[in-house]
Structure formats: C-alpha cells, structure tokens
C-alpha cells in the first residue's frame, strides 16, 4: 500500500510540474505556425524552435524551422523569424525563408 501511495504522489508531482512549464516562445511559435499556414497553404509536418536572439534592447528575434508538405506532395522547410519588442511583446516583423532541407 505504501508503494502505491508513493507512486501516486510522484505521479501527481510530475504532472503538476509539467502543466506549469509553458516555454517563453510558445506565443511566437503559435504565430509562426499560423502565419506559415496562411502564406504557404500547406500542411505543417514538424516544428522546431531554433532560439532567441536579442538584437537590441528594444528588439528580439525568435527563430523557428517548420517542415511543410504542399498539395502536390512536395516537402520543404521554412525558416520563420519573428522580431518583437521584449519590453511589451509587440510584434514588429515576420520574415520567411524557404529551405530545401
């Protein structure tokens, strides 16, 4: 009985920790996916956060790579660069760059 209680407690703690762990880039990742779908009219197969760069005190950039497949079945990658003001989270610019891999 004690082992069961300890197992349940560990499971409860682990689930509580994972629920509160939303990454800082999640908002920008959702925007990258939405804008890429709108621009390319393709299905997104995969998504990777490449990191954040602080360009100036009033400009940061989140970088993502998305893997897409279009209606003809062609797969290709798209890099998405999202520039924003980190002091107020205001979007400044989104850039796209296609990649063969």
Burial 89-100 (b: 16+ CB within 10 A, else e): eeeeebeeeeee
Q: Which pLDDT score, from 0 to 100, does residue 21 have?
A: 72
pTM: 0.77
Q: Which pLDDT score, from 0 to 100, does residue 63 have?
A: 97
In the chain, what is the greatest distance between 2 CA atoms, to the nearest angstrom?
Answer: 58
Q: Which pLDDT score, from 0 to 100, does residue 23 have?
A: 86
Q: Which pLDDT score, from 0 to 100, does residue 64 have?
A: 97
d(CA 72, CA 94): 26
pLDDT, block means (10 residues), the chain with 101 residues:
48 51 89 95 93 94 95 94 95 93 59
Over residues 76-101, the pLDDT tens digits come to 999 999 999 999 999 999 999 998 75
């Amino acid at each position: 009985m004690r082992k069961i209680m300890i197992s349940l407690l560990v499971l409860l703690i682990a689930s509580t920790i994972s629920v509160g762990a939303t990454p800082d880039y999640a908002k920008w990742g959702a925007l990258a996916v939405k804008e890429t779908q709108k621009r390319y009219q393709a299905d997104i197969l995969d998504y990777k956060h490449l990191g954040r760069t602080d360009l100036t005190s009033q400009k940061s950039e989140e970088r993502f790579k998305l893997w897409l497949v279009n209606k003809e079945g062609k797969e290709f990658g798209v890099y998405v660069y999202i520039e924003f003001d980190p002091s107020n989270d205001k979007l400044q610019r989104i850039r796209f760059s296609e990649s063969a891999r």
